[in-house]
């Protein structure tokens, strides 16, 4: 995929605040001129705009979208090239919403003169963006595929995010430094919700005689440091605030009314063991979207199943296209 950046001189946010000289970073594969089907992909919280890197099972080799043209735009607030605390003021970066991020994505679609999209594809908070994009896009969309996502950010998720932000704020370097210790700890909180107790217990067994150096704590520290090495603490803080703004029904007469306006044929995929955005949330989506099909993928990997269970996900999408 080819990395590109759209520059927007003035960008008004949903809150009423405005940003100047706004970069919107994205990756593009193919001409995206209609000669091949286009999949517009929306990334999750800490991913970048190159799905070939983090969704290889869908975008490479035998994946469903290996030979499609593709677009993926980096979220506002992310450290991977779009406007964020790294480009605009650190922790003073203003509140951005999912709708603000989608407004930037719509600007990319306009700049590329894209009026027809074959599939919108998003998992987790990528699904939040896909729903908002479907609401706002004035062109035509053939299909939408939503994985491990919902029509609104639930109180459970907001509580987790607040725990993360409280943890980030305990690091005195968050405001004038790298905030790395806080970011490592906040990621640890997240890891407890991306997988499941059963999966942890099976994957991280300890010697019954051990008194220290246990596998699960080591695993948590490793993944915390792994995020520190590639992400930014202020961006993480601000992105969790953005996720909390998600409600498809805000200003549209409520959730049922807003979802009822999205008539795109939609496949909603839930992960059976997901404790972060459980299947009940996907059931709410599928019930209220007029042309939706629900498929539950059996997985031991919890929320992360949408990034792991490629054979089941590819098969579900293929069956959806042939309905």
Q: Which of 124, 180, 273, 299 is catalytic?
A: 124
Q: Tell me, yes or no, whether 214 and 271 share the same domain.
A: no
**Cβ-Cβ contacts under 8 Å for 260 (sequence gap 6 or more):** 288, 289, 290
Q: Give pLDDT tens digits for 80-122.
A: 999 999 999 999 999 999 999 999 999 999 999 999 999 999 9
303 has catalytic annotation: yes
Show the domain range for 36.
2-154+247-321
CATH number where 272 lies:
3.40.50.1820
Spatial contact of 266 and 146, defined as CB atoms under 8 Å apart: yes
Q: What percent of the chain has pLDDT over 70?
A: 100
140 has catalytic annotation: no
Q: Which of 100, 171, 232, 274 is catalytic?
A: 274
Q: Tell me, yes or no, whether 164 and 145 share the same domain.
A: no
Instruction: Label residue 174 by pLDDT band (50, 70, 90).
Output: very high
pTM of the predicted model, to two decimals?
A: 0.96
Q: Tell me, yes or no, whether 262 and 237 share the same domain.
A: no
Q: Which of 224, 242, 260 is the last residue of a domain?
A: 242
Q: Give pLDDT tens digits for 237-246.
A: 999 999 999 9
274 has catalytic annotation: yes
Q: Which of 184, 213, 242 is the last residue of a domain?
A: 242
Instruction: Label residue 323 by pLDDT band (50, 70, 90).
Output: confident
CATH number where 213 lies:
1.10.1740.110
Q: Give pLDDT tens digits for 64-89.
A: 999 999 999 999 999 999 999 999 99
On the question of pLDDT at 257 being above 90, the answer is yes
Task: Please provide residue 104's backbone torsions phi and psi, each rounded to the nearest 5 degrees.
Answer: -65, -40
């Amino acid at each position: 995929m080819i990395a590109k950046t759209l520059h927007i001189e003035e960008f008004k946010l949903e809150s009423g605040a405005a940003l100047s000289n706004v970069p919107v970073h994205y990756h593009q594969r193919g001409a995206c001129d209609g000669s091949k089907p286009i999949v517009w992909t929306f990334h999750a919280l800490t991913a970048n705009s190159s799905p070939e890197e983090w969704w290889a099972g869908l975008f490479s080799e035998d994946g469903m979208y290996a030979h499609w043209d593709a677009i993926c735009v980096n979220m506002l607030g992310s450290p991977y090239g779009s406007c964020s605390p790294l480009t605009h003021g650190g922790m003073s970066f203003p509140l951005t919403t999912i709708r603000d991020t989608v407004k930037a994505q719509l600007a990319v679609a306009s700049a590329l003169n894209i009026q027809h999209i074959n599939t919108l594809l998003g998992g987790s908070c990528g699904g939040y963006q896909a729903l908002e994009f479907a609401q706002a896009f004035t062109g035509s969309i053939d299909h939408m595929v939503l994985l491990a996502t919902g029509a609104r950010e639930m109180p459970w998720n907001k509580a987790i995010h607040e725990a993360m932000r409280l943890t980030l704020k305990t690091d005195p370097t968050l405001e004038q430094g790298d905030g790395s210790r806080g970011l490592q700890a906040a990621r640890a909180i997240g890891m407890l919700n991306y997988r499941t107790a059963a999966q942890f217990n099976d994957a991280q067994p300890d010697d019954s005689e051990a008194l220290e150096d246990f596998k699960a704590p080591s695993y948590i520290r490793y993944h915390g440091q792994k995020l520190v090495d590639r992400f930014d603490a202020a961006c993480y803080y601000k992105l969790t605030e953005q996720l909390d703004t998600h409600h498809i029904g805000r200003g549209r007469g409520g959730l049922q009314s807003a979802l009822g306006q999205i008539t795109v044929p939609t496949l909603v995929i839930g992960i059976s063991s997901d404790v972060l955005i459980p299947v009940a949330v996907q059931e709410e989506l599928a019930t209220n979207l007029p042309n939706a099909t629900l498929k539950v993928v059996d997985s031991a990997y919890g929320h992360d199943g949408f990034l792991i269970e490629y054979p089941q996900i590819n098969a579900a999408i293929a069956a959806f296209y042939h309905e």
